[in-house]
Amino acid sequence: MSIVRFNALQETLNRKTIKIEEKEKRSVLFGKNVFNKHAMQQYLTRSAYESVMNAIEKGTKIDRKIADQVAVSMKDWAMSKGATHYTHWFQPLTGATAEKHDAFFESINGSLAMEKFDGEQLVQQEPDASSFPNGGIRNTFEARGYTAWDPTSPAFVYETTLCIPTIFVAYTGEALDNKTPLLRALQAIDTHATAVCKYFDKNVSKVNATLGWEQEYFLIDDALALSRPDILLTGRTLLGHTSAKGQQLDDHYFGTIPARAMSFMQDLEQECMLLGIPVKTRHNEVAPNQFELAPIFEEANLAVDHNSLLMDVMEKVSRRHRFKVLFHEKPFEGINGSGKHNNWSLSTFDGTNLLSPGKTPMKNLQFLTFFVNTIKAVYENEELLRASIASASNDHRLGANEAPPAIISVFIGSQLSKVLDELENVTKGKLSPEEKTDLKLNIIGKIPEILLDNTDRNRTSPFAFTGNKFEFRAVGSTANCAIPMTVINTIVAKQLKEFKVEVDALIEDKNLKKDEAIFNVLREYIKASKDIRFEGDGYGEAWEKEAKKRGLSNNKTTPEALKVQVSKEVIYLYEEMDVLSKVEIEARYEIALEEYTKRLQIESRVLGDIARNHVVPTAIVYQNTLLENTRNLKEIFGVEFKNIAKEQIELIMTISNHITEINALTIKMTEERKKANKFVGIKSAEIYCKKVKPFFDEIRYHCDKLETMVDDKLWPLTKYRELLFTR
């Protein structure tokens, strides 16, 4: 009898749902534990408040004396919320968040004590961060890293700690985190989008990128999760026969949320409210025990921080409810995996959405400008965009018939396609008054109506226009949104910069009117970027063939996908946009490859262990039972036994075959791993990808077969049906 599995199941059956009370309205809870504008107005002097607001809105520096004032007020505020400690909260290149707590408490002369927090501690810290990934940056420069306050993302109190969002950089200035390049990319998009906006509205002084992510996840009872070494160590199941019932009946999607999951969600949402994370939507997803949560969109930097924070909070709250949250992109074979759609748009400081048409022809042209430039940017940089979402875990999801393929394409719907097709016919150079009127009234003038009824959505597209924003759907559920957001904003910034140069040239050299010049450049962009537009079924094989003809990349694995990041063009792009330097790019590439290799190495070791130390011994125990039974039959029935024990004998032989295969394959896999480990970087990653990983499916096949043969009572690993349907 397999003790762990059955104890876990027993424990799960005895679980009680925690009753969560909604003591206060969500609107009252919202932002209570955030040092937001409201709290700052209460706690800061007028000059300190203005100084922080200027830093947030205009990026100005906060001087030292003011920082001291802010720190003291922040501490008083945090202590009023029960905080005893503070931490610089940052996002190192592990993709997760990091924190090191220090107490406000300080003793004076060993006898007196007080709570202290000053400007220096607020502004800069030096975590002992030597074991965060740095891709050789700090070794090369023999420099240490430090964290620095990012006032654009407000401090918050979580549990008893004041958390101060920070960037993490080397003393030589290189970024060691995901936030620094994001902030630089947001600066770039602000600069170049604002410049383009001025064609349409002279008063625009700032453009923000906006992000609304949708987080998918699985909830598994924690006793069951703990009973599976693969889930515990890799976040996914490395083996397990599919459950007879999976998602084929479509009975989970948007169904009634199971009671325990609901209680977790309510608890989580209340925590989110306190932390100012504006969560809005919750529902069941397609697979059993899969769910989704989405907020109201925010400025991208804040939205990225909020998603990282959310993932932390989800882990903590789930423990209270005796769940384990699985963020892995593909925790279970045979049912859907999880993504994190990134809804992206641009917004002027007064909240005008630049990817939404307006009431005047000029506003519609503005919409069209940003719309077409985004498509062109994606076309020019499709491979980099693919690289931004590459990871060992997302490789399982992309192209797996349920998620966008590894080919990046843009879906805009048939109506907008028609508009772009018509714009291709705009006359070169000067436009006649009739043509201008026609464009304004009949073509771009129709856009608002079209978008009101933008019903033709294509769920298979990795990058879809959904009415007033683009939705990047290929992002994986474990991803730190900063990475894809850095790429999108950088490539669109670069595109807008070029656009402005071209339009200005037509105005100055060719004497065209502003709108004529814009139509002329857009026409060429629409023609040039046509190949990235695809309205058909992105999951089909036909698209793979078609995409190949069009010259679009189709990098199915992470090592292939990442290569473009260190290409000459990409280095040039990042340097031109001041987002990443060559050193930073190369460091990140190293880190991403190493992470990939390590993940596969861990999976391979865990699989080897489970297969040989759990599955094979169990199969042998069962086989012995069969042997004993056969021997007994022979004793009683003599030569007749061969007929009577036919099934048993066949089973004994089949089990032997599977055991032999498992052992042989595991040994071969280990040999390949050893070869791979002799190398570093891309070489090692490639061997893991091409030589080690293929064994996973083969070994799994034999283990899963054994699962269907061996006595259920003996099977040590909690089964798929138990993981997915016990609630």
Binding site residues, Mg ion, CB under 5 A:
341
Q: Annotate each residue in 688-727 with x if it binds ligand ADP (CB under 6 A) or - if it does not, as one string.
A: ----------------------------------------
489 makes contact with ligand ADP (CB under 6 A): no
In whole angstroms, the minimum distance from the beta carbon of 214 to Mg ion comes to: 5
Nearer to Mg ion, 260 or 341 (CB): 341
Nearer to Mg ion, 68 or 216 (CB): 216
3 state DSSP class of 196? helix
296 makes contact with ligand ADP (CB under 6 A): yes
The half-sphere exposure of 64 on its side-chain side, counting CA atoms within 13 A, is 1
Q: Which residues ranging from 639 to 678 are in contact with ligand ADP (CB under 6 A)?
A: none
295 makes contact with ligand ADP (CB under 6 A): yes
Backbone φ, ψ for residue 353 (5° rounding): -80, 120
Nearer to ligand ADP, 191 or 353 (CB): 353
Look-up of token digits 């599955």 = 615
Continuous H helices in 207-286:
222-226, 229-234, 259-274
216 makes contact with ligand ADP (CB under 6 A): no
* Residues 136, 294: Cα–Cα separation, whole Å: 37
In whole angstroms, the minimum distance from the beta carbon of 295 to Mg ion comes to: 12
343 makes contact with ligand ADP (CB under 6 A): yes
From 94, 124, 353, 567, residue interacting with ligand ADP (rule: CB under 6 A): 353
Nearer to ligand ADP, 164 or 464 (CB): 464
Nearer to Mg ion, 214 or 686 (CB): 214
Q: Annotate each residue in 451-470 with x if it binds ligand ADP (CB under 6 A) or - if it does not, as one string.
A: -----------------xx-
Concatenating the DSSP letter of every residue in 419-480 gives HHHHHTTPPSSS--HHHHHHIIIIIGGGHHHHHHT-----TT-SEEE-SSSEEE---BTT--
Beta pairing partners, 282: 293
215 makes contact with ligand ADP (CB under 6 A): no
Nearer to Mg ion, 214 or 722 (CB): 214
Look-up of token digits 């002279």 = 202
Beta pairing partners, 410: 463, 533
* Residues 646, 641: Cα–Cα separation, whole Å: 8
In whole angstroms, the minimum distance from the beta carbon of 488 to ligand ADP comes to: 11
Concatenating the DSSP letter of every residue in 548-590 gives HHHT-----SHHHHHGGGGSHHHHHHHHHTTS--HHHHHHHHH
297 makes contact with ligand ADP (CB under 6 A): yes
Q: Name the CA radius of gyration of the chain, rounded.
A: 29
3 state DSSP class of 341? strand
214 makes contact with ligand ADP (CB under 6 A): yes
Nearer to ligand ADP, 174 or 214 (CB): 214
In whole angstroms, the minimum distance from the beta carbon of 373 to Mg ion comes to: 23
- Beta carbons within 10 angstroms of residue 76's beta carbon: 12
Stretch that binds ligand ADP, among 291-299, 608-616, 697-705, 711-719 (CB under 6 A): 291-299
* Residues 67, 51: Cα–Cα separation, whole Å: 9
Chain residue whose CB lies nearest ligand ADP: 212
Residues contacting 37, CB < 8 A, separation 6+: 53
Nearer to ligand ADP, 169 or 211 (CB): 211
Question: Residue numbers of the site for ligand ADP (CB under 6 A)?
Answer: 210-212, 214, 294-297, 343-345, 353, 468-469, 471
